Amino acid sequence: MNIAGIEFPDNLYYDKLHNWARVEGNVVVQGLTDFGQKIAQEIVFVESPPVGRDLEQGQTFMSMESGKWVGRVPAMVSGKLLEVNEELEWEPNIINESPFEDGWLVKIEMTDAGELDNLWKADSPEFKEFIEGEAEKFKDLIG
Amino acid sequence: MKLYRLETVTWQDSQLLYHALPRLDREGLILLSPASPYVCLGYFQDAEQEVDLPFCREAGIPVFRREVGGGGVYLDGQQLFWQLVIHKENPLVPTGKEAFYRRFLQPPIEAYRALGIPAEYKPVNDIVANNRKVSGTGVAEIGDYIIFVGNLIVDFDYEMMARVLKVPDEKFRDKVYKTIYENLSTIKREVADVPPTEDLWTLMADKFAALLGPMEEQRTVDAAWRAKADELAPQFLSDEWLLRRGRPGAGRTVKVREGVEVRHKMHKAPGGLIRATIEVEEKVIRHVEISGDFFFFPAEALRDLEAALAGKRIDQVEETAARFYAEQAVESPGVTPADFAQVVG
């Protein structure tokens, strides 16, 4: 799905903070969208949180830095933190270069698939409206 | 929102208090300055890679890791800090980092201008005057709050700033010192008569009030705030927190201001190890020194290559070196223009 000139893969879920989630069985892979990396600009540090901890949907659990701004990343679903993309600690700009593939952040073992209903799909009219609004706010950054 | 005009506090409180306030679910603008100097590291930095810890220990200079981003800096009482703690949902908070910085850097910019210093906003998060940085800033998100910190720099100990950093060699330290001196200015350097500190605090409070609205002033740390700061102290002042390992570096970069860096890089080419110290401004090489254990003939041509690279963009290193090789007939077995691009670019 193309919204405001930016691609949002149809098979993913999205939130208001420009994160995406891909469901693989009972595991959710989470990352930052192409739109999100564009407005974050160059990401210079990513924290690798310890795996194994239990997360709740919306709970912040890791940090990343761009523009001297340390921002917190929330879990898109509740569950156990299974895996962290450790490559990002060495090369955080992979998120800028490949946000939907190599730049994934974490994998979470989902405990409640019903929470996916709190997220948007790319073809949702609310999501389209949200992204169009965001695109207007950040038109200087997304080009 | 409250104005906490605390002025001089201990160096520990100059950091702990703003870390404590959002944890009490309170907004506020804190104005303060540390009673004694210390080194302050960014959240993600590796203390052992960034700071000369043995020197700091010997000199009695404490080192602190903050939750705010950015780089390591030497702080003392000649720097007047603002620390704004504002809820993410506060209507004054705009969407996006750049918009946030642009709005909340305006009060210190106005303060500088009131002193006759032509300060202006430089994206993403710098204040510059006559193309020199005049303030250091950074942001952290703690819970539902945005913490925005920065300083008015009355005077700056450039020598000590360069001394506390861990550097690969003294030449690099000298380059860092000179680059910081050329790219960072102070109120003392910009105006003939520096107003009394009391007036500078008032100026800053007034300029922030113009944006934030009238604020009730509090000049002391209340019991709940004191207790929260004391509760945080054991963690934030521990060696475990300070020495938390960051990303191992493949070189050393000191960011002086947005767009200006001094870098030390190494690259193992088939023909030997190449080292370079590079001063970069807006992606253009201002100065480069190359050394190493590789063969380069004639040896004096290496200085000419450095001169050829000066003024070029960092993405033009390989083509510049290739042209230099073609025109100067140099020989460097096992070292190609692409290797120079690795270490300089």
pLDDT digits (tens, 9 = 90+) for B120-134: 999 889 999 999 999
Number of independent structural domains in chain B: 2
List, for residues B258-303, the tens digit of each pLDDT value.
889 998 888 888 888 888 889 999 999 999 999 888 889 888 899 9
Residue B122: name the closest of B297, B310, B2, B260 by CA.
B260
A70–B101 CB contact, under 8 Å: no
Q: Which of B96, B125, B137 sits opposite A138 (nearest CB)?
A: B96
CA B297 from centroid of its chain's CA atoms: 39
B132, B112 in Cβ contact below 8 A? no
**Does the structure show a pLDDT above 80 at B245?**
no
What residue type is B168 in one-letter code? P
Q: Above 70 in pLDDT, residue B251?
A: no
Stated pTM of the model = 0.84
Residue with the two structure tokens 């073609």: B326
Instruction: Pick the range with the lowest mean pLDDT from B77-86, B257-266, B278-287, B305-314.
Output: B257-266
Suggest the residue from A45, A64, A70, A134 to mutate for an interface test with chain B (most B CBs closer than 10 A): A70
Interchain CB distance below 8 Å, B141 and A70: yes
Question: Rounded distance, CA B216 to CA B210, Å?
Answer: 14
Strands A69-74 and B260-269 come out as unpaired
Domain co-membership, B264 together with B170:
no
CA angle B251, B255, B256 (to 5 degrees): 140
* Cβ–Cβ contact B149 with A under 8 A: no
Which of B242, B273, B289 corresponds to the end of one domain? B242
SS3 A69: strand
Instruction: List, in sequence order, every residue forming a beta bridge with B261; answer none if it has no partner.
Output: B255, B280
CA-closest candidate to residue B65, choices B85, B84, B50:
B50
Domain of residue B263 covers 259-344
Separation between Cα atoms, residue B29 and residue B17, nearest integer Å: 11
Domain ranges of chain A: 2-133
pLDDT band at B337 (very low <50, low <70, confident <90, very high): very high
pLDDT greater at residue B22 or residue A142: B22
What average pLDDT score do residues A104-121 get?
97
A63–B95 CB contact, under 8 Å: no
Predicted interface score ipTM higher than 0.90: no
Mean pLDDT of the A20-39 span: 96
Q: pLDDT value at position B248?
A: 55
Residues B73-101, mean pLDDT to the nearest whole number: 95
Average pLDDT of chain A? 94
Half-sphere exposure of B257 (CA within 13 A, CB side): 23
User: CATH number for the A2-133 domain, one of 1.10.10.10, 2.40.50.100, 2.60.120.10, 3.90.1010.10?
Assistant: 2.40.50.100
Same domain, B51 and B104: yes
- Verify whether the Cβ–Cβ distance B98 to A134 is below 8 Å: no
Q: Are residues B310 and B204 in the same domain?
A: no
Q: How many residues does chain B have?
A: 345
Nearest CA in chain A to B248: A90
B330 CB within 8 Å of a chain A CB: no
In this structure, the answer to whether residues B128 and B267 fall within a common structural domain is no
The DSSP element (H or E) to which A79 belongs, if any, is: strand A79-84
- Do residue B200 and residue B331 come from a single domain? no
State whether B247 and A90 contact (CB < 8 Å): yes
Quick one: B308 and B225 in the same domain? no
Q: What is the CATH number of the domain that holds B282?
A: 3.30.390.50
B153 band by pLDDT with thresholds 50, 70 and 90: very high
Looking at residues B312-341, what average pLDDT do you find?
A: 92
Based on the domain organization, do B231 and B265 belong to the same domain? no
- Compute the nearest-CA separation of A17 from chain B (Å): 11
Check residue B169 and give its pLDDT. 87
Average pLDDT, chain B: 93
Looking at the fold, whether B205 and B115 belong to one and the same domain comes out as yes
Instruction: Read off the pLDDT of each residue in B128-145 and give the average, rounded to a whole number.
Output: 94
Domain boundary residue, one of B181, B210, B242:
B242
**Whether B99 and B216 share a structural domain:** yes
A137 contact B CB<8A:
yes
- CA B300 – CA B33 distance, rounded (Å): 51
Give pLDDT, residue A137.
84
